[in-house]
Structure 1
């Protein structure tokens, strides 16, 4: 029953399998690829489905700070609640990569509906990092 609920679909990115057919994914892998696809798609990017995606792409030029992290967490939860009905999102945690100031790590904690096995997925999101212009003031790169 669980496999029927999750289903199967084309692998992303689309490629062929060893037989030359379109590669398919099923089960947990199908859900993971669906989450990644939702987060990687900006609303308006798909002409036939302009509302599909996640609005985090509007925050690429935002400062890498707590306010931006909170907005990203909100947008991720909103998009997954709307576009991925097979999961129940329990938490979205956005943290800063210690090695790269321009990378925010989005950790999504979720359950596949009908399953009692908690899962998580980390999705990197890149912003333009702020830098010190030498006078002590923080400036946003590219602004």
Structure 2
């Protein structure tokens, strides 16, 4: 079991824990929505999707985001996941990332959708 994200307290009064597959999903979410410079000892961590929510929407932005997200996931989680497919769409003040990846530890395939306009 791993510490859940976002950090919280379980009904038992202890730190909220999560399983390995959900922990990997939490790590992907952290990479996507952390802006470079936000982490003290890792100033280049993340890909800063939230900084781009209000940029001019269009195919150029989506293509640039796809490259940025792919690079950040490979750099920070390349030893944990292998990206199978990635689609980034930009809408009315919302960025949506649809990601299919393989968990390298188990070989399991997961498909997740992350929205910048929705918090968990």
Q: TM-score range by the shorter chain?
A: 0.7 to 0.9
Among 69, 76, 81, the alignment partner of 1:87 is: 81
Correspondent of 1:111 among 102, 105, 115: 102
Higher Cα Rg, which structure: 1
CA distance in 1, matches of 2:51, 2:10: 35
Find out whether 1:54 has 2:54 as its counterpart: no
> Where do 5+ consecutive residues of structure 2 fail to align?
none
SS at match of 2:116: strand
* Matched residue count: 116
Structure 1 residue runs without a partner (length 5+): 1-7, 127-143
Select the residue among 54, 75, 93 that pairs with 1:102.
93
For 1:70, which of 57, 63, 68 is the aligned residue? 63
CA deviation vs aligned residue, 1:113-135 (integer Å, no higher than 9, x gap)? 14443321111135xxxxxxxxx
Contact 1:64–1:104, Cα closer than 8 Å, also in 2: no
8 Å contact kept, 2:49–2:95:
no
CA 1:62–1:72: 2 relative to 1, 3 Å: same
- The aligned counterpart of 1:15 is 8
Residue by residue over 1:61-84, the C-alpha shift from the partner in whole angstroms, topping out at 9 and shown as x without a partner, is 321100001111111111111111
SS in 2 for 1:17: coil
CA distance in 2, matches of 1:11, 1:116: 22
Across the aligned residues of Structure 1 and Structure 2, the Cα RMSD in angstroms comes to 1.8
SS at match of 1:53: coil
